[in-house]
Amino acid sequence: MLVDNAAVAVDDVEPISAPTEDPVLDNNVLQLDLEMLDNLGFLTAQDNSQNHCIQEEFREIKRSLLGNALTSKANAVKHPNLVMVSSALADEGKTFIAINLALSIAAEQDKTVLLVDADVYKPSVLRHCGIKPRKGLIEYLLGNIEEPGDIIYSTNVDKLTIMPTGTPHYLANELLASAKMTALIEELASRYSDRIVIFDCPPILGLTETAALSQLMGQAIIAVEENKTSIQKVNRACAMLNEDLAKGLVLNKALQSHKELYGTNSYGYDNKTIL
């Protein structure tokens, strides 16, 4: 799947200043800055949105993910409703893809989606949505918050909820690899079996935690920046992940499709193509 470079890859966007006012209303709803997101190439359903091409591209990705998760194909893998989004290296646009996928799925009439910012090294989901930091995954894993539901925030986008990373911590990598994180993922998979849960994960190469998380996921999308990441690094990254995952590559920030360079842009189980 090709993602046109007319969209700004969120990992490359200059840091956005924290909002001067608290974006969370009394009813604890996170207020995404939809105008800002639209200007950055996100799928916000704004009437004046210029992101129609991006919308069609993400519809194609979304249809594959939903088909894998909610049809007879779902029996082929464990936790088909859990989707990790990562990349071989940093700054390849994975967060752009994760947020857009969540927004695209939320636009469905009968689907809900939870977006988990699991990049404990470089969290950016809230920041790029124009929202101040909130307590989240780190606080839960540290035991400072007891219930997972207390770190799942509703938003002003219908059917979209967000679990933020929380406060940076020096033990973030150990927390991500902890038994409590495993239990949380298992709970999200079972409690919300009819909901798509998207994890914005750290890059794969150079870290062991992302590969470990992949053992608990059903699907994976790997962002590949054109003219940056070598085929060898992409292959190495994919080889580190759970071999039973339904994997898909998204060529990001590209002017034209170079599918033949990266093999398939489909989602498949082992050698069986699904798309």
224 within domain boundaries: yes
Owning domain of residue 145: 2-10+34-273
The DSSP result for 128-178, as a single string, is HTT------HHHHHHTSS--GGGG-EEESSTTEEEE---S--TTHHHHHTS
Q: How confident is the model at residue 73 (pLDDT cuts 50, 70, 90)?
A: low
Does residue 59 fall inside a structural domain?
yes
Closest residue by Cα to residue 195 from 99, 107, 114: 114
| pLDDT category of residue 72 using cuts at 50, 70 and 90 | low
Q: For residue 21, tell me if it sits in a domain.
A: no
Q: How confident is the model at residue 70 (pLDDT cuts 50, 70, 90)?
A: confident
The more confident residue out of 259 and 158 is: 158
- Is pLDDT larger for residue 51 or for residue 248? 248
Average pLDDT, the chain: 83
In a domain, 229, yes or no: yes
What local confidence, expressed as pLDDT, does residue 14 receive? 40
| Distances in whole angstroms, Cα of residue 124 to Cα of each of 35, 40, 149, 237 | 18, 14, 21, 22
Percent of the chain residues past pLDDT 70, beyond the cut: 77
Give the residue-averaged pLDDT of 34-54. 78
pLDDT number for residue 20: 40
More confident residue, 3 or 136: 136
Domain of residue 75, CATH code: 3.40.50.300
**Is the model more confident about 141 or about 191?**
141
In a domain, 29, yes or no: no
Give the pair of three-digit tokens for residue 87: 């990349």
- For the chain, how many structural domains are there in total? 1
Q: Are 126 and 133 within 8 A, CB to CB? A: yes
Q: Over range 240-263, report the average pLDDT.
A: 71
Nearest CA-CA partner of 51 in 61, 62, 40, 36: 40
What does the chain come to in residues?
275
Which distant-in-sequence residues (6+ apart) come within 8 Å of 239 by Cβ? none
pLDDT given at position 181: 98
